[in-house]
A = this chain, B = another copy of it.
Amino acid sequence: MSSTQFSYQQLASFSRQVFLAIGCPEADAETATRVLLSADLRGIDSHGIARLSGYIRLWEAGRVNARPDVQVIHETPSTAVVDGDRGLGLVVAPFAMQVAIDKARQVGTGWVSVQNSNHYGIAGWHAMMALQHDMIGISMTNASALVAPTFSTERMLGTNPIAVAIPAGTEPAFVADMATTTAANGKLEILQRKKQAAPPGWIQDADGHPTTDAHALKSGGALLPLGGDREHGSHKGYALGAIVDILSGVLSGASFGPWVPPFPAYVPMPTYMPGKGIGHFFGAMRIDAFRPAEDFKSNMDQWIRRFKSARPAAGEEKVLVPGDPERELEAERMQQGIPLLQPVVEDLQTLSQRFSIPLIIS
Contact = CB atoms under 8 A, between A and B. Distances in A.
A246 interface: yes
A123 B257 CA distance: 26
Most B CB atoms within 10 A — which of A207, A257, A306, A313? A313
Contact of A290 (B74, B231, B274): B74
Interface in A195-218: 199, 201-202, 204, 207-209
Contact of A151 (B236, B296, B313): B313
A220 to B, nearest CB: 10
A15 to B, nearest CB: 29
Given A232-B182, A233-B183, A76 B303 contact: no
A11 interface: no
Interface residues of A, number: 90
B233 A149 contact: no
A177 to B, nearest CB: 9
A286 B227 contact: no
Interface in A280-328: 285-287, 289-291, 295-296, 299-300, 302-303, 306-307, 310-314, 316-322
Interface stretch (A56-64, A105-113, A345-353, A354-362): A105-113
Interface stretch (A16-24, A27-35, A38-46, A237-245): A237-245
A246 B79 contact: no
A228 to B, nearest CB: 6
Given A153-B312, A275-B299, A228 B239 contact: no
Interface of A: 74, 76-79, 81, 106-109, 111, 113, 136, 148-154, 156, 164, 166, 174, 176, 178-183, 199, 201-202, 204, 207-209, 226-228, 231-233, 235-240, 242-243, 245-247, 250-253, 256-258, 274-275, 285-287, 289-291, 295-296, 299-300, 302-303, 306-307, 310-314, 316-322
Given A151-B317, A152-B313, 12 more contacts: A76-B286, A77-B108, A108-B111, A153-B314, A154-B319, A178-B235, A201-B231, A201-B232, A208-B312, A209-B313, A239-B322, A258-B306
